[in-house]
Amino acid sequence: GENVEQHPSTLSVQEGDSAVIKCTYSDSASNYFPWYKQELGKRPQLIIDIRSNVGEKKDQRIAVTLNKTAKHFSLHITETQPEDSAVYFCAAKVPNTGFQKLVFGTGTRLLVSP
């Protein structure tokens, strides 16, 4: 079945720096890759996603890139702010499931220091 690995497990940056979180997946047929942000004690919330028919997607300060050949995708946050501090999860959709069956990475705790 699908397996998703996420690195690093923790990431500390200074405010204004960029942050990059990387994920790899195992099933080359996976075609949907969402990223979730979870603040302390809150529910995960979708922040950006990408489908396998594109290589990059941007939304203001966040972007996601996808390399289908290498089976990895990355989250890029530019000009980080203290409110970006949270745990970020990547996920991959299990192929050939009508239901959006997602396999999640183990999460990256991002800390942005003022």
Partner 1 sequence: NAGVTQTPKFQVLKTGQSMTLQCAQDMNHEYMSWYRQDPGMGLRLIHYSVGAGITDQGEVPNGYNVSRSTTEDFPLRLLSAAPSQTSVYFCASKGLAGSGLYEQFFGPGTRLTVL
Cβ proximity of 4 and 104 under 8 Å: yes
Q: Considering only residues 37-66, where is the footprint of partner 1 by CB under 8 A?
A: 42-46, 49
Q: Which is nearer to partner 1, 9 or 81 (CB)?
A: 9
Q: Is 104 in the site for partner 1 (CB under 8 A)?
A: yes
Q: How far is the CB of 94 from partner 1 (least distance, A)?
A: 9
One-letter amino acid at 70 equals A
Q: How far is the CB of 85 from partner 1 (least distance, A)?
A: 18
Q: Is 89 in the site for partner 1 (CB under 8 A)?
A: yes
Q: Which is nearer to partner 1, 12 or 81 (CB)?
A: 12
Beta strands (DSSP E) in the chain are 4-7, 10-14, 19-25, 32-38, 45-51, 56-59, 62-67, 72-77, 86-93, 102-104, 108-113
